[in-house]
A and B are shown apart, each in its own frame.
Chain A
């Protein structure tokens, strides 16, 4: 059995007095040391006395808060229902409700937008039909109301301009001196890809005295490419371009350059072309 010093005994005196878990050999050494050391024996006795005193005190711990506290708390609980709902769970519920409301509002806004767009579409279409009808009835086939509406119709195909595709053969080097001259605020609208296109012009772009043909719509256009505004550009293009569009021109002049006006939308896509003198 190893000899235990007083310092070592002091380290385990508390656990020894409480009969805490320790190795049996250590316990035996400690008890043996306490029997041989008056000071450590006294220490062990005082630790045990303290444990007993604390045990008595713990057993006597029976006090409770007075009933008035409970009454006050229950009253406070009843008066603070909103505050009581500040738990994490309540926060989650509130967030879910807010998200649900937000989704409902978004759906309602989307439905309203769709309805508005559909109404606008039908209004525009009905106006376009009216414009086309009046355009057909006009002698020059161009005017609809106070704003200028140009009926773009390929020669020889008054109802269904199934002309060949317009070859994008306009090279920069063939552009004439009028390149880039833009007529401001030309507003045009393609009335119908099947019955021809109507161009609504806020201003008169050019005097018709120069024009040999009406504006010829380019056949790759669809309703989706209808434009609200654009510019007219004067360029030089090969005669073959007009031959390809069905304009009756002598093939012998196919390689020559002629003046023409292009209707170009704000998106840069050409919509129509007409031959000038």
Chain B
């Protein structure tokens, strides 16, 4: 029976802090995928995600004592929190992506939107792989505070409470950000699905009042 099966994250971290390589390896195997994908979806860069994953676990080796389970946090949220801080710092440094700003939806009251042709399902024309890629690109185009919440709640399938713990904000904040992120994501997806219609607000956008 491997350490992964018999120990919690906290126990593995304690054993790793005591110098057990197997415990550290087990904890890494358990958590590296989520950390790597979070960094990858946040940045769109495999090399950055690789660096972030390595940095996070190096920091865990060096500063395992800083994790305090008494504060109610979990090892997973601790790792995601570290990953988030590093991703934000690197994105701030690189600024290699141009997010879709919220101001793009500022023409909510434009009466021309009411005359737009409504399509039933603009995403239906995309194949599954294309759809997945379109979702990833659309998420990448979201503002960071919407991007991170939709990655955690929709792709990593965290609960609102877990996401709030990682982001260090209230559950209500997560809920409202997620709501807004979905609105923006629908608009972006439709522009991806119908590039020829991208200047116009699509049916979904109209449905959201955008």
Contacts and interface: CB of A to CB of B under 8 A. Distances in A.
- Whether A associates with B in a native complex is yes
A21 interface: no
A47 to B, nearest CB: 7
Contacts of B62: 80, 83-84, 86
B131 A84 contact: no
A62 B36 CA distance: 10
B186 interface: yes
Interface in B53-69: 53-54, 57-58, 61-65, 68
B123 A53 contact: yes
A210 to B, nearest CB: 80
A90 B67 CA distance: 13
A3 interface: no
Contacts of A73: 24, 28, 54, 57-58, 61
Interface string A18-53: 000000000000000000001110110111011011
Contacts of B50: 65-66, 68-69
Nearest to A80: B61
The DSSP consensus for interface residues of chain B is helix
B189 A53 contact: yes
A85 B54 contact: no
Interface in A51-68: 52-54, 56-58, 60-66, 68
Interface residues of B, number: 58
Contacts of A86: 17, 62-65
B25 A70 contact: yes
A78 B17 CA distance: 12
B179 interface: yes
Contact of B118 (A14, A42, A47, A56): A42
Interface stretch (B85-93, B164-172, B199-207): B199-207
A171 B104 CA distance: 106
B61 A39 contact: no
Nearest to B187: A46
A57 B36 contact: no
A14 B182 contact: yes
Contacts of A87: 13-14, 17-18, 64-65
B57 to A, nearest CB: 5
B190 to A, nearest CB: 8
Contact of A69 (B24, B54, B121, B182): B54
6 contacts: A39-B207, A42-B120, A49-B124, A56-B132, A63-B36, A80-B61
